[in-house]
Amino acid sequence: EAGVTQFPSHSVIEKGQTVTLRCDPISGHDNLYWYRRVMGKEIKFLLHFVKESKQDESGMPNNRFLAERTGGTYSTLKVQPAELEDSGVYFCASSQGARGNTIYFGEGSWLTVV
């Protein structure tokens, strides 16, 4: 069974440009999460989807970040326009419906804004 897959694995963009990160969760997982780790600090929660609905987006840093999950399958996280402080690793994760189920993480998308 395929795990959580993320694309691209690495991206280098200039300040002011747009980047879109994609996440394909494990098939059948209703819950999808985005996290990020900036500058070697702690991994921080961004948001949580249940199917196509945003359940909790309290961690989204500002309105330059837009997450979508069309049809409750894959998700995209767009950063527009990107700033230097957005550099870091963006992790996607997924889990099955019930609370307390194991959360499976992808390998992360490494974003560098120059």
Partner 1 sequence: GDSVTQMEGPVTLSEEAFLTINCTYTATGYPSLFWYVQYPGEGLQLLLKATKADDKGSNKGFEATYRKETTSFHLEKGSVQVSDSAVYFCALSNTGGFKTIFGAGTRLFVKA
Contacting positions for partner 1 (CB under 8 A): 3-4, 31, 33, 35, 37, 40-45, 48, 55-56, 91, 93, 95, 99-108
> In the complex, what is the shortest distance from the CB of residue 105 to partner 1, in angstroms, rounded to a whole number?
4
CB-CB contact of 6 with 106 (8 Å): yes
Instruction: Report the residue number, 22 or 81, with the smaller CB distance to partner 1.
Output: 22
> In the complex, what is the shortest distance from the CB of residue 16 to partner 1, in angstroms, rounded to a whole number?
29
Which CA distances in Å does 6 have to 15, 16, 23, 58, 92?
A: 22, 23, 5, 22, 7
| Block residue for tokens 């921080």 | 44
Instruction: Report the residue number, 53 or 80, with the smaller CB distance to partner 1.
Output: 53
> In the complex, what is the shortest distance from the CB of residue 17 to partner 1, in angstroms, rounded to a whole number?
26
CB-CB contact of 67 with 56 (8 Å): no
Instruction: Report the residue number, 63 or 102, with the smaller CB distance to partner 1.
Output: 102
CB-CB contact of 15 with 82 (8 Å): yes
